[in-house]
Amino acid sequence: MFDVIIIGAGFAGAVLAERFATQQNKSVLLIERRQHIGGNCYDERDDNGILIHKYGPHLFHTDDEEVWKYLSQFTDWHVYHHHVEAMIDGQIVPLPFNLNTLHKLFPPRLADKFEGALLNRYDYNTKVPILKLKQSTDKDLRYLADYVYEKVFLHYTEKQWGLSPENIEGAVTARVPVFVGRDDRYFNDRFQAVPLKGYTEVFRKLLNHTNIKLMLNTKFNEVMRVEDDKIFFLDQPFEGQVIYTGQLDDLFNEKFGALPYRSVDMKFRTVNVDSYQPAATVNYPNNYDFTRITEFKKIHPINSTSTTILKEYPQDYVRGQNTPYYPIFTEENQKRYEQYAAEVDKIDNLTAVGRLAEYRYYDMDDIIRRALDVFNNFNT
């Protein structure tokens, strides 16, 4: 019945479905456990007419021109440069921590001293991971690093991950740098925008092809199973290509134990004011049990006398009760993932792609690039 079966209708699954359908004229079945396409990028308009991101803010940014051109086939863009601020010592200041932040938080003479030390050691417009800055031999830079670590990084990270920063893989901690410059934008990529009509519309266009059939509200194990080195669909051996983008431990019934994730309790609220906060996202590193507040009208502008905000409360992932958002990157968890990855390698017609299936964090442009590369590998 089908040449390709794809599990998961997020960017990994949708891009691969589009490529197989349009470039190879393959018949594709796309299976999704939720009642909607788009994965965690799903958005919709709320009762206020405001476009909200149901699973937290998603801001598209990339330096990859091929990815930009590919996605531009399916959307027009609203050019948008994301700004994030943080509540630190009672002040709202820009993030990432940069020279502007420095001068807002410290007296002028001390701020000038710290700025001079940074510029003496690092090039202008460079990013320095906070844990690297803490290792500096310069006493002023160490003082500054300790301040940023305590006020910006430590407690936010503990809330977000449920772990201390030292117990998390360096690639995660490197995502929160000190920026030696004055660019207040959260991202510095060449292309920055959000889809003009939202992400859900992008997915509708990606999947709008006669070769693609959707099966929503369906779990993988309701219609498929893995048995030894074979895959069965509706109790029949399936010899076509299978792309799996879900939780890898689910695929193998947790035979090596569960892969842990962090989840988030998303709490949306309507506020009867024109503007709630000075930036689209404000982080709360300290003194609050939520990590950030996002105001969606600042991402997707609309005339409205009210506004919609989202508070994010990080929590442990509990299977069947909430959504797995972030793999927890520790050495132990990575070893467990590699056991599951070895099982995937035993099945010739199975490919695991995506944040859950590969147990790693991907930005949107990264997962689109990954999906395009996976497809191209099928052609070599």
Per residue in 238-272, pLDDT tens? 999 999 999 999 999 999 999 999 999 999 999 99
Please tell me whether the overall predicted TM-score, pTM, comes out greater than 0.85 for this model. Answer: yes
| Short-list 95, 189, 177, 87, CA closest to 134 | 177
Residue 157 — very low, low, confident or very high, per pLDDT cuts 50/70/90?
A: confident
Q: What percent of the chain has pLDDT over 70?
A: 98
What is the Cα–Cα distance from 323 to 91, expressed in whole angstroms?
33
Backbone angles phi, psi at 250, to 5 degrees: -60, -40
- Structural domain of 245: 4-37+207-260+328-378
Considering the domain architecture, whether residues 213 and 167 belong to the same structural domain is answered as no
Domain count, the chain: 2
Considering the domain architecture, whether residues 115 and 243 belong to the same structural domain is answered as no
**261 CA to centre of own chain:** 13
CA dihedral defined by 212, 217, 220, 221, rounded to 10 degrees?
-140
Q: What is the CATH number of the domain that holds 253?
A: 3.40.50.720
Residue 170 — very low, low, confident or very high, per pLDDT cuts 50/70/90?
A: low
Q: Where among 180, 197, 227 does a domain terminate?
A: 180
Residue 318 — very low, low, confident or very high, per pLDDT cuts 50/70/90?
A: very high
Check: CB of residue 340 under 8 Å from CB of residue 151. Answer: no
Residue 30 three-state SS: strand
Check: CB of residue 361 under 8 Å from CB of residue 262. Answer: no
Whether the per-residue pLDDT at 353 is higher than 80: the answer is yes
In a domain, 221, yes or no: yes
**What pLDDT does residue 97 have?**
96
Mark out the alpha helices in 305-351 (DSSP H runs).
331-345
In a domain, 26, yes or no: yes
What is the Cα–Cα distance from 369 to 375, expressed in whole angstroms?
10
Considering the domain architecture, whether residues 254 and 164 belong to the same structural domain is answered as no
- Residue 200 tokens read as 């859900």
pLDDT digits (tens, 9 = 90+) for 39-89: 999 999 999 999 999 999 999 999 999 999 999 999 999 999 999 999 999
In a domain, 23, yes or no: yes
Q: What percent of the chain has pLDDT over 90?
A: 88
What would the mean pLDDT of 221-225 be, rounded to a whole number? Answer: 95
What would the mean pLDDT of 316-323 be, rounded to a whole number? Answer: 93
In a domain, 241, yes or no: yes
| Short-list 127, 179, 192, 165, CA closest to 285 | 165
| Short-list 369, 272, 268, 267, CA closest to 314 | 267
Output the DSSP codes for 51-71. EEETTS---EEES-HHHHHHH
Considering the domain architecture, whether residues 334 and 247 belong to the same structural domain is answered as yes
Residues 6+ apart with CB under 8 A from 29: 1, 2, 4, 5, 6, 213, 215
Residue 174 — very low, low, confident or very high, per pLDDT cuts 50/70/90?
A: low
What is the Cα–Cα distance from 345 to 251, expressed in whole angstroms?
13
**What pLDDT does residue 18 have?**
98
Considering the domain architecture, whether residues 10 and 142 belong to the same structural domain is answered as no
Check: CB of residue 188 under 8 Å from CB of residue 53. Answer: no
What is the Cα–Cα distance from 168 to 148, expressed in whole angstroms?
18
In a domain, 270, yes or no: no
Strands 224-227 and 230-233: antiparallel
In a domain, 295, yes or no: no
| Short-list 199, 143, 153, CA closest to 178 | 153
What is the Cα–Cα distance from 276 to 282, expressed in whole angstroms?
11
**What pLDDT does residue 108 have?**
96
Considering the domain architecture, whether residues 225 and 152 belong to the same structural domain is answered as no
In a domain, 157, yes or no: yes
What is the Cα–Cα distance from 173 to 233, expressed in whole angstroms?
41
What is the Cα–Cα distance from 378 to 380, expressed in whole angstroms?
6
In a domain, 319, yes or no: no
Check: CB of residue 335 under 8 Å from CB of residue 369. Answer: no
Q: Helices then strands (H, E): number in the chain?
A: 13, 22
Considering the domain architecture, whether residues 227 and 369 belong to the same structural domain is answered as yes
**What pLDDT does residue 153 have?**
87
Residue 165 — very low, low, confident or very high, per pLDDT cuts 50/70/90?
A: confident
**What pLDDT does residue 114 have?**
97
Considering the domain architecture, whether residues 25 and 115 belong to the same structural domain is answered as no
Exposed e or buried b per residue across 29-50, where buried means at least 16 C-beta atoms within 10 angstroms of its C-beta: bbbbbbeebbbbbbbeeeebeb
What would the mean pLDDT of 281-286 be, rounded to a whole number? Answer: 96
Considering the domain architecture, whether residues 335 and 251 belong to the same structural domain is answered as yes
Considering the domain architecture, whether residues 176 and 213 belong to the same structural domain is answered as no
Average pLDDT, the chain: 95
Residue 173 — very low, low, confident or very high, per pLDDT cuts 50/70/90?
A: low
**What pLDDT does residue 166 have?**
72
What is the Cα–Cα distance from 264 to 359, expressed in whole angstroms?
17
Residue 299 — very low, low, confident or very high, per pLDDT cuts 50/70/90?
A: very high
Considering the domain architecture, whether residues 156 and 227 belong to the same structural domain is answered as no
Residue 154 — very low, low, confident or very high, per pLDDT cuts 50/70/90?
A: confident
Considering the domain architecture, whether residues 248 and 123 belong to the same structural domain is answered as no
Query: C-alpha angle with apex 152: 149 to 158, nearest 5 degrees?
Result: 80
